Amino acid sequence: MFIVNSYSLAIIFCFITMLCWGSWGNTQKLAGKTWRYELYYWDYVTGILLFSLLSAFTLGSTGSEGRSFLPDLAQAEWSNIGSAFLGGVVFNAANILLSAAISVAGLSVAFPVGIGLALVLGVIINYIGQQAGNPALLFGGVALVTVAVVLNASAYSRKVTAASGNAVAMAARTRNRGIILSLVAGVMMAFFYRFIAASMDLDNFVSPTVGKMTPYTAMFIFACGIFVSNFLFNTLVMRKPFEGAPVSYAEYFKGGFKIHLTGILGGLIWGLGNAFSLIAAGKAGAAISYGLGQGATLVSALWGVFIWKEFRGAPRTVNLLLSLMFILFLAGIALIIAAGT
């Protein structure tokens, strides 16, 4: 299988993860013009499962190092399979809430608040599980990201306050619902990576401990957890949506090829980022790999502010807060990278 053997290459992989995890939401925004996010989400999870199979039978089954996908799957202990599968279930519950937050409040709010919180808690959880990297630099970077998240929430609140007339009450309700969904999603999102990491031998991808899994096998089991749990979670959300009228499976099958392809593309993009994060974790450590990947908050905020114009017409103070948020995010990410050198 393909293995990352240098820290610098691991960091490159983490940056690709950051770009992927911060960009998949654009496919939801595109589909959302004519397609409910609950329907989009079925294609999204299908895309993740498809990518897990693609990576398993390509990068996960070539080369002379490590165990290839099928032999690795055959020898994996059920406890490790269950851990990766549970990671998928936890991720799916969190990501459905995040998708709802994107639908309600937009990318530039849902990601910085939800994924920013997930970054902070997730780095702590993964560092406890595998203490790799300089803790002072690592948690210093996390502290800066925390302040950036607070600034983003403040900017959004000021934008809402700037509204006029009846728009104030409606915007306030939207803000509160979006932020609450993002916070709950962030807390849950902080835990999924640790379940996957626990199923792998992060210290030795070349000759993994018997019973443990390689990143490619863990990614596949994780994707199965997402896909299977979606029949429960997304069905509930379709019947009792956070916003709007209930939707049916019949509506899903009425969707055209392009709209389904958009959702699958979103899943493929996220799956690529997750695969690269797990591959990089063997060299960078789970806390750094996860933390850098969740720098996706910066990427998504850039998309939301500059491409989707989610803060168009906001007061100057809001723009100042957003600028400071971006600076702190960049500084925090730089410290997280330095923690592993």
Give me the pLDDT at residue 85, please: 98
Q: Are 246 and 239 in contact (CB under 8 A)?
A: yes
> Which residues touch 333 (CB under 8 Å, ≥6 apart)?
141, 145, 292, 295, 298
Q: Which of the residue ranges 150-164, 269-283, 287-301 would you say has the lowest mean pLDDT?
A: 150-164
Domain presence at residue 2: no
Both tokens of 104, joined, read 């309600």
| Residue 57 falls inside a structural domain | yes
Residue 1 lies in a domain: no
Count of structural domains within the chain:
1
CB atoms within 10 A of CB 146: 17
For helices 257-284 and 7-23, angle between their N-to-C axes, nearest 10 degrees: 150
Q: Does 36 reside within a domain?
A: yes
253 domain residue, yes or no: yes
Q: Please report, to the nearest 10 degrees, the dihedral formed by the alpha carbons of residues 291, 277, 187, 326 taken in order.
A: 40
The answer on pLDDT for 223 being more than 70 is yes
Closest CA to 144 of 303, 298, 7: 298
Greater pLDDT, 32 or 214: 214
pLDDT score of 269 more than 60: yes
pLDDT digit string, tens, across residues 109-150: 777 778 778 888 999 999 998 888 899 999 999 899 888 878
What residues make up the domain containing 28?
7-338
Strand partners, 200: 213
Please tell me the predicted confidence (pLDDT) of residue 40.
Answer: 94
